[in-house]
């Protein structure tokens, strides 16, 4: 049985994808899998991935661009592992990420780790996202403003089954926000204080990573109302799956 599924959404990531894949594959065992959903890249991303000839890598190609969140949802829908790790295409996993995360997941359903942040030249510009953005667990604080980013998340299969179906409006409920809220509302969550990845900011990131200038108050309120309604509706599905 597959132990770990690492899910990556790629799109025109030729510049950094090899470094990222190497840092991940070095930590996976023969019974793990690396799921890649490619959003119709028109650079050399897919060619670089195919050079690996590694049976753990499973690539799924979108015939047209589906967008960042839908691309990630596609990768997640293919995952067969007991433990799910999310990864961006342009970061670096630090050597003990898998070991430390799996240990934490023995007692929790969802964990989020700290990260160092680097610029496009791979110079460290922040030693802790937790400190930079005052990140902590808890539903209310993350409902008001979630600072979790997908590439720092890992969770068990119970959570994976509970996040489907994803809300249709991906602007109001991006995949990492949705996973955060479902996990904080229904499951046992914890954080790992140690940075386990180097998160690269280079100007072409698919996600804003918490660095966006913000939306209007009205849009924030509508977004949170939408997420809350979706969360409450999701309870029926979760009850069927887990007998909550």
Question: What are the pLDDT digits (tens) for 79-115?
Answer: 999 999 999 999 999 999 999 999 999 999 999 999 9
Which pLDDT value is given to residue 180?
99
Which pLDDT value is given to residue 206?
56
Backbone angles phi, psi at 163, to 5 degrees: -85, -10
Rounded Cα gap, residues 81 and 73, in angstroms: 15
DSSP assignment letter at 170: T
CA-closest candidate to residue 225, choices 158, 160, 162, 173? 173
Rounded Cα gap, residues 39 and 9, in angstroms: 7
Question: What are the chain's domains?
Answer: 4-242 (3.90.550.10)
Rounded Cα gap, residues 113 and 190, in angstroms: 9
Taking CA 21 as the corner, what is the angle to CA 16 and CA 22, rounded to the nearest 5 degrees? 105
- Quote the tokens at residue 97: 């990420």
Taking CA 32 as the corner, what is the angle to CA 28 and CA 34, rounded to the nearest 5 degrees? 85
Torsion 44-212-134-122 (CA) sign: positive
ω before 165 within 30° of 0 (cis)?
yes
Which pLDDT value is given to residue 2?
82
Below-50 pLDDT ranges, the chain: 211
* pTM score: 0.93
């Amino acid at each position: 049985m597959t132990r770990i599924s690492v899910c990556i959404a790629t799109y025109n990531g030729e510049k950094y994808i090899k470094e990222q894949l190497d840092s991940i594959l070095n930590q996976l065992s023969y019974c793990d899998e690396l799921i890649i959903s490619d959003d119709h890249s028109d650079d050399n991303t897919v060619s670089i991935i195919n050079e690996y000839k590694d049976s753990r890598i499973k690539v799924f190609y979108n015939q047209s661009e589906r967008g960042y969140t839908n691309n990630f949802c596609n990768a997640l829908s293919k995952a067969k592992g007991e433990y799910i790790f999310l990864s961006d295409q342009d970061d670096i996993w630090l050597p003990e990420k898998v070991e430390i995360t799996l240990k934490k997941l023995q007692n929790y359903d969802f964990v989020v780790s700290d990260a160092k942040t680097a610029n496009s030249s791979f110079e460290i510009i922040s030693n802790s996202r937790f400190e930079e953005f005052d990140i902590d667990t808890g539903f209310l604080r993350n409902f008001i403003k979630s600072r979790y980013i997908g590439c720092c998340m890992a969770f068990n299969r119970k959570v994976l089954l509970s996040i489907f179906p994803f809300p249709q409006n991906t602007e109001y409920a991006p995949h990492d926000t949705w996973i955060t809220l479902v996990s904080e509302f229904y499951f046992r969550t914890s954080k790992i204080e140690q940075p386990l990845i180097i998160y690269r900011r280079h100007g072409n990131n698919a996600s804003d990573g918490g660095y966006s200038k913000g939306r209007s108050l009205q849009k924030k309120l509508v977004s949170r109302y939408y997420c809350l309604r979706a969360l409450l509706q999701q309870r029926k599905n979760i009850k069927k799956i887990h007998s909550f």
